[in-house]
Amino acid sequence: AAMGIGTLRHEILWHQIEPSQGVHNWADHDLRVDAATAAGVEIVGLLGYGNPWASALGAANNDYDYPPDDPQDFADFGAAVVARYGDRVSRWEIWNEQNAGYRFWKNEDSLFDGQPLEYGTLLAATYASIKGIDPGATVAFGGLFYLPQVIMGAEVFLAETYAAHPTIGQAFDVMAYHPYALYPPVDPPEFEDLEFTIPLYPIDKTARRMRDVVVTHEGAPKPLWVTEIGWPTEDAITEEDHARFLVRSHALLLSA
């Protein structure tokens, strides 16, 4: 708060809060939400990820990055969180980089393929559960990693989610994405290289391209959130460059 930061994206992890079905442990998150509220910092609640008791693969691998076998289990978790914190938190993001199958949405078909059909089903169920508790809440499509670098890119994943669920636009209010340059990112936000193996776009162009996917399928744009952006300072980027890149990214995104 002293730094002037007004919003905090905060992970609210299912496997921590509900370690066994129907048994909730809110203590740690109560402290965090209360502290942010007291400091005047708004929380954007990131709801994720899987839970070993809700996934056969998750249980077999003791891993909470597998999605639930029954998406309604996650939707029920979302409803419980909103019932607990909805008086202080009104913006929710559903999962994170679910197109990164090797990390955040693991599946048995391929570690590198996203599952737009399955994610869309979970998103729709969770949206309905959240809105049933707080009709005024804002629900964001989980932030997609932009580049198709080994994984399915954000544009393709979003388009395939629309193809699998033609009415999925009714299940999110905001589109979120992460416009990282080639990972790990070292280039400034204006950098463009269309001759590279993967086209590398400047940040304002990635925003327009994501908006265009939404418009193509819905006929109108939706608000766009960049819920992650950054450059690792341990490599070629200094902290001063990082600060400059953030300011320039903000200006470019506003222009888009």
The Cα 212–Cα 209 span in angstroms is 5
Name residue 20's beta-bridge partners. 23
Is pLDDT of 235 > 80?
no
The model's pTM = 0.96
Q: What is the largest CA-CA distance in the chain?
A: 53
Q: What pLDDT does 142 receive? A: 98
Name the range with the highest mean pLDDT among 98-107, 109-118, 176-185, 205-214: 205-214
Residue whose pair of structure tokens reads 């080639």 in the numeric block: 182
The Cα 156–Cα 241 span in angstroms is 31
Q: Which of 20, 79, 22, 74 is nearest to 48 (CA)?
A: 74
Contact 200, 194 (CB under 8 A): yes
The Cα 141–Cα 176 span in angstroms is 6
Is pLDDT of 102 > 80?
yes
Contact 65, 104 (CB under 8 A): yes
Sign of CA dihedral 115, 118, 124, 129: negative
Residues 203-234: tens digit of each pLDDT: 999 999 999 999 999 999 999 999 999 998 77
